[in-house]
Amino acid sequence: MGVLFMIDQLEDWSADAAHPLSGRLDLSHIGMSGHSYGAVTTQAMMGQQFPLNRNFRDERIDAVALFSPSISKMESPEASFGKIDMPVLAMTGTKDGSPIDPTQSPESRQELYQAMPVGDKYHLVFEGGEHHAFGSSPGRGKNRMDHHHPSIQELTLKFWDAYLKGDEEALGWLQSEQPREDCKLVEKDVWEWK
């Protein structure tokens, strides 16, 4: 898998005194994120259970951020995500359908968070947020609200600060209602943690 190769490559570069990245990487604190199909890849690396009790968890990854996550068609959300033990930030929207897979509905994307166990799990649902609210492709995300991108950036940075840098202030911020005010979330946006 390409992700494993890339982490292996970073380890090799870090160990190579002649490489420009030598001594510049903190490989003891690795985060991974992805949108849509990138979220699916990230879900696999965080330990999503697949049929036949298979998973692709890489213990070197410490925390993940998922934008438009997807549930499995072959396993229940509880079977797929009920044992996830790492910090997870999941973001979606109430209009976050899939442009290529009609089985991934805005409601189904929220089932991932609901199925995960308590402990370092965070969930943002933008009222009216569409699939492309998390990207910046020209011509897409036409209905994106002004607070979407600043909210995504602020929450994700605080999440990385809390779980990759050990920032207790960022952790306290995440586990509060303060993000609603600081990120200017609208009344129907959902911010929750467990």
Number of domains in the chain: 1
56 in any annotated domain: yes
Torsion angle (degrees, nearest 10) of CA 107, 112, 114, 120:
-140
Is there a domain that residue 137 lies in? yes
In-domain check, residue 146: yes
Tokens 């959300």 belong to which residue? Answer: 77
The enclosing domain of 93 has a CATH number of: 3.40.50.1820
Rounded CA-CA distance 135/138 in Å is 9
Mean pLDDT of all residues in 158-169: 97
Q: How confident is the model at residue 136 (pLDDT cuts 50, 70, 90)?
A: low
- Which pLDDT belongs to residue 132? 83
8 Å CB contact between 34 and 41: yes
Give mean pLDDT, residues 98-109. 84
93: enclosing H helix or E strand: strand 88-95
Nearest to 55 by CA among 79, 91, 37, 89: 79
Nearest to 119 by CA among 172, 59, 194, 62: 194
- Domain range for 124: 26-193
- For residue 52, pLDDT beyond 90: no
Could you tell me the maximum CA-CA distance found in the chain, to the nearest angstrom?
A: 53
How high does pLDDT run on average in the chain? 90
The answer to whether residue 98 sits within a structural domain is yes
Task: State the Cα–Cα distance between residues 97 and 45, nearest whole angstrom.
Answer: 23
Is residue 172 one of the residues assigned to a domain? yes
pLDDT band at 143 (very low <50, low <70, confident <90, very high): low
Q: What is the pLDDT of residue 178?
A: 96
Could you tell me if residue 161 is inside a domain? yes
- Residue 6 inside a domain? The answer is no
Is 104 inside any structural domain?
yes
